[in-house]
A and B are shown apart, each in its own frame.
Chain A
Amino acid sequence: MIALLQRLGRMGCNVTEGLGQAAILLVQSAVGMPSAEGIRLWLRQMHFVGVMSLAIVLVSGLFIGMVLGLQGYTILVDFGAEDALGQMVALSLLRELAPVVAALLFAGRAGSALTAEIGLMKATEQLTSMEMIGVDPLRRVVAPRLWAGFVALPLLTIGFGVIGIWGGELVGVKWLGVFEGSYWGNMQASVDFVDDVLNGLIKSLVFALVATWIAVYQGYALVPTSEGIARATTRTVVYASLAVLGLDFVLTALMFGGLS
């Protein structure tokens, strides 16, 4: 009984310590004036985490939009309300699916790569040697990746939403014959820029921060062996996905839900 309690206590201490270290990492790396060199490094990471994730995000967005079009149509047509298809596709994409699915894909594609990359730099002593040269690896290695993730994911989310809405139109309007005017008209009448588009983007910014943060922290704090890197990469995907889904509920409740 006492041993169990002790184990619980140790777990609590470990979790708190980890969170504290992660917070220190975030503050030390993210705060500070950007330099010309920093912007160049950031650009490089934007390419790595943003442009390289574009294909998977856009293809997923297209398919999810098409599925929404198809499912929405079969449900709505029973009520003779297939005109509301555009509204359904757009709202479910902008409020939920684009921020969440793009963040999950991002955690899997870019987050795990960030963890592995930083972990490998740690395992090959690149981070230590950087410190010995007198350069803070938090500012040189972690900060550009953190900021790149923070900017890239919202952009990817926008791309996801746009192509998803287009995919819904492709199926609903072009194939199933929903009237084009009512697809867009109903959408425009029901989608509010601030309530839906901007709230979706705010969600996406939060997810971007959390997912990238988890990824770089896992990379920075991992045990520098090949097994340690493999574990940390898995942890990044699991933790980031759970954090995204959990935060999504909280944010949805705050933004749209009457849980107050």
Chain B
Amino acid sequence: MKRSKTMELGVGLFMLAGILGLLFLALRVSGLSLEPPGDEFRLEANFANVGGLKPRARVTMAGVTVGRVESIELDPEWYDARVVMSLDEGLEGALPEDSTAAILTSGLLGEQYVGLSIGGAPETLADGDRIRDTQSALVLEELIQQFVSNMVKE
């Protein structure tokens, strides 16, 4: 029976390794979060144009990832894009009210992400608040258009 015990152990380890591997793929590679949703710190921001920003893109502050984009949808009131971000809980009540959000691009071909810059107001943002000062994504065609029309004026 000893041989079958080691065999069982081998198979058990094999299956455990498979499950751990799947967890690794879920958490480390695809960046799923195990934390239950609900007790998160959510902020909204409206952008005139989100460019290529996608859900689950990074939200950074001074280059450090502090959260993810949860959803992007059209705001029917102003016809601009409402981006909902979920941030680290530790930041709740620490961000000044006049903080700004910008859609940035990492490198020339990299993916787009949201960068937060800290403001100076004494009031702070709470869960569900909206960042008012936003900067839209740079769209290459618009840049070129501006550049060309400036040249023509000169």
**Is A bound to B?**
yes
* A interface residues with partner B (beta carbon < 8 Å): 40, 43-44, 46-47, 50-51, 54, 79-81, 83-84, 87, 90, 94, 151-152, 154-156, 158-159, 161-162, 165, 182, 184-193, 196-197, 201
Contact of A43 with B8 in the complex, beta carbons under 8 Å: yes
Closest to B26 in A: A193
Distance A61 CA – B109 CA, assembled complex (angstroms): 28
What would 8 A/B residue contacts be, using CB atoms closer than 8 Å? A44-B4, A47-B14, A50-B11, A84-B109, A155-B15, A184-B28, A189-B57, A197-B22
Distance A10 CA – B47 CA, assembled complex (angstroms): 67
Distance A87 CA – B8 CA, assembled complex (angstroms): 37
Known: A158-B18, A161-B25, A197-B25. A46 touches B11 (CB 8 A): yes
In the assembled complex, how far is the CB of residue B121 from the closest CB belonging to chain A, in whole angstroms? 30
Known: A51-B14, A189-B113, A190-B111. A162 touches B25 (CB 8 A): yes
Distance A90 CA – B32 CA, assembled complex (angstroms): 15
In the assembled complex, how far is the CB of residue A237 from the closest CB belonging to chain B, in whole angstroms? 23
Cβ of B7 within 8 Å of any chain A Cβ, yes or no, is yes
Contact of B30 with A192 in the complex, beta carbons under 8 Å: yes
Note all chain A residues with C-beta closer than 8 A to B17. 155, 159
Contact of B8 with A161 in the complex, beta carbons under 8 Å: no
Distance A46 CA – B7 CA, assembled complex (angstroms): 9
* B interface residues with partner A (beta carbon < 8 Å): 4, 7-8, 10-11, 13-15, 17-18, 21-22, 24-26, 28-32, 56-58, 65, 106-111, 113
Known: A161-B25, A188-B29. A79 touches B11 (CB 8 A): no
Note all chain A residues with C-beta closer than 8 A to B4. 40, 44
Say which residue of B13, B18, B29, B108 sits within 8 Å of A197 (CB atoms).
Answer: B29
Distance A80 CA – B106 CA, assembled complex (angstroms): 11
Distance A152 CA – B14 CA, assembled complex (angstroms): 9
Note all chain B residues with C-beta closer than 8 A to A186. 106, 110-111
Say which residue of B14, B30, B32, B65 sits within 8 Å of A54 (CB atoms).
Answer: B14
Say which residue of B11, B29, B57, B108 sits within 8 Å of A47 (CB atoms).
Answer: B11
Note all chain B residues with C-beta closer than 8 A to A43. 7-8, 11
Contact of A158 with B22 in the complex, beta carbons under 8 Å: yes
Known: A81-B110, A161-B25, A186-B111. A191 touches B18 (CB 8 A): no
In the assembled complex, how far is the CB of residue A61 from the closest CB belonging to chain B, in whole angstroms? 11
Note all chain A residues with C-beta closer than 8 A to B10. 47, 51
Note all chain B residues with C-beta closer than 8 A to A159. 17-18, 21
Closest to B58 in A: A189
In the assembled complex, how far is the CB of residue A60 from the closest CB belonging to chain B, in whole angstroms? 15
Known: A83-B110, A188-B29, A192-B30. A51 touches B11 (CB 8 A): yes
Closest to A193 in B: B30
Distance A22 CA – B136 CA, assembled complex (angstroms): 59
In the assembled complex, how far is the CB of residue A11 from the closest CB belonging to chain B, in whole angstroms? 41
Note all chain A residues with C-beta closer than 8 A to B30. 188, 191-193, 196-197
Contact of A154 with B58 in the complex, beta carbons under 8 Å: no
